[in-house]
A = this chain, B = another copy of it.
Amino acid sequence: MPEHLIQHLNKHIQLTEEEKELIRSKVVLKTVKKKELLLRAGDVCLMQNFIAKGCFRLFIINEKGAEQTLQFSIEDWWITDYMSFSTQKASHFYIQAIENSEVISISKSDLDQLNIAIPPLERYFRIVLQKSFAASQMRIMFLFTMSAEERYHHFKNAQPDFVRRVPQYMLASYLDFSAEFLSKIRAGKV
């Protein structure tokens, strides 16, 4: 139901009943089964996706055929390839459900209209993106300054939910080391 998104927005901005109705008229609801893809490399990222329920990851397949996870996202967060979404060019990435999930999606043209019609909505996205970019800067800092083992322990503390919900081999690739090495870290064999 779009109400999940409306309620989420209501926590951050004030919306009139007409504005809510306008948003409801533009969103698309999807049920996505575990392992299903919301986006595949080569396709254009047509939709910005809000996760109403479940868990997703954004990953790339490198030239050796190995998957590298760049981002995890759970309920009340957005997951989209912003590069492909804003330029409407082919994406490098895959977006995949890690659990059975429900998403609320909006196309670029609809979102552009909504942002112009509802300035507080544009404000909401400005703030979300500011936080996302800040988090991304911090992530690069952690990648640069911590060893593999430090990154694992730091992430486990900071995001225990993800560690619970996500297979270890995906977590290892997100932290930029091999699945085997994570296994050894956890066993204390390093």
| A residues lining the B interface (CB < 8 Å) | 58, 60, 62-63, 68, 70-71, 81-83, 86, 92-93, 115-116, 119, 122-123, 125-127, 129-141, 143-145, 173, 176
Contact = CB atoms under 8 A, between A and B. Distances in A.
A145 B176 contact: no
Contact of A129 (B71, B81, B129, B139): B129
A134 B133 CA distance: 8
Contacts of A134: 81-83, 86
Nearest to A61: B145
B136 A140 contact: yes
Contacts of A139: 140
A136 to B, nearest CB: 4
14 contacts: A68-B144, A81-B134, A82-B133, A83-B134, A83-B135, A83-B138, A86-B134, A93-B141, A115-B123, A122-B126, A129-B129, A129-B130, A133-B133, A144-B173
Contact of A131 (B60, B86, B115, B122): B86
B71 A145 contact: no
B130 A82 contact: yes
Given A58-B137, A143-B176, 7 more contacts: A60-B141, A68-B141, A68-B145, A70-B140, A86-B127, A93-B141, A136-B136
Nearest to A64: B145
Contacts of A122: 119, 122-123, 126
